Amino acid sequence: MKQPLPRKSLRGLCLFALLAAGQVLAQPATPQESACKGRIYLTFDTGSQSQAELIEQTLQRHHIKATFFLANEKTIHGDYSLDPGWAPLWKRLAGEGHAFGTHTFDHVYVIRDLPEGKIEVRPQFGAQAGKKLQWTPAQYCEEMKRVDQRFQELTGRKLDPLWRAPGGRLTPNLLKAGQACGYAHVAWAPAGFSGDELPSDKFPNEMLLKKALDGLKDGDIFLAHMGIWSRQDPWAPAVLEPLITGLEHKGFCFATLRDHPAYRHLFTVGKER
């Protein structure tokens, strides 16, 4: 039979265990985190969805979290990006820890401000596609929230309190409408414009990659799409991987907009949607 340890030894073991636990709890940041020379915020707007899986796989491979802005856009499969057939993608991305904002359900462009806070708009999709409409702030708010409602139906979770106006077009009335609806608008940095909407004969992928690698700096928000109909030489297959690798080699890390200094206050305790 083993002899019990004396009290002094027991006290010593307890102290050692407490110190060891404290070291575990207070572990320093990983070398990758501590070596960060800056942070880039990747954002992706819905589009033709031709590059959706490639984008997801690339982010997974690099353990990167991004922010997605969703509209119900026509896809290469003949359906729309917020149809039930896309639920598996959105569920996976939500489960992987990405952030999500509204891009208006029918990808509604603002044209101009009108009196009494109203705005003239033109939806790209839906029953009113291509028509000029006069909306109140409440109507625009309803349009933004349609994405939230559909996203909850598809994934079981809410959108984050973020939005991006289609084309990045803003007017004073539109900005106020978004704020009153509870959404903070997200634009992008000058160097953060991927150029994936531009004609590839005039703006080849090599040029766009170099521009981004040379210009992006700490805190910049980067914009790309999950597929563009008009670009002949797609951006994502040629640029996304070398862009991320190049930025990592420069010491940059990546995060969602939940961690961006301009937006993280929206995610403090008690402010979750």
DSSP string, 195-247: -TTS-TTTS-HHHHHHHHHHH--TT-EEEEES--SS-SS-HHHHHHHHHHHHH
Q: 268 pLDDT band (50/70/90 cuts)?
A: confident
| Helices 172-180/137-155 angle, 10° precision | 50
Phi then psi for residue 50, to 5 deg, are -65, -25
pLDDT greater than 80 at residue 104: yes
**CB crowding 5-27: b at 16 or more within 10 Å, else e:** eeeeeeeeeeeeeeeeeeeeeee
pLDDT greater than 50 at residue 1: no
Which H or E run contains 111? strand 108-113
Assigned fold of 36-267: TIM Barrel (3.20.20)
**Cα 131 to the center of its chain, rounded Å:** 29
* Token code pair at residue 16: 């050692």
pLDDT greater than 80 at residue 20: no
pLDDT greater than 50 at residue 15: no
Q: 4 pLDDT band (50/70/90 cuts)?
A: very low
Q: What is the pLDDT of residues 179-192, one digit of tens each?
A: 999 999 999 999 99
151/127 Cα distance (integer angstroms): 20
pLDDT greater than 90 at residue 240: yes
One-letter amino acid identity for 157? R
Q: 33 pLDDT band (50/70/90 cuts)?
A: low
224/56 Cα distance (integer angstroms): 13
Question: What is the pTM (predicted TM-score) of this model?
Answer: 0.87
Domain extent listing, the chain: 36-267
- What is the model's pLDDT at position 269? 58
Q: 233 pLDDT band (50/70/90 cuts)?
A: very high
Q: What is the pLDDT of residues 50-96, one digit of tens each?
A: 999 999 999 999 999 999 999 999 999 999 999 999 999 999 999 99
Arithmetic mean of pLDDT, 164-168: 97
- What is the model's pLDDT at position 106? 99
Share of the chain above pLDDT 70, in %: 86
**Does residue 157 sit in helix, strand or coil?**
coil
- What is the model's pLDDT at position 35? 76
108/81 Cα distance (integer angstroms): 15
211/18 Cα distance (integer angstroms): 52
- What is the model's pLDDT at position 146? 99
Arithmetic mean of pLDDT, 140-160: 98
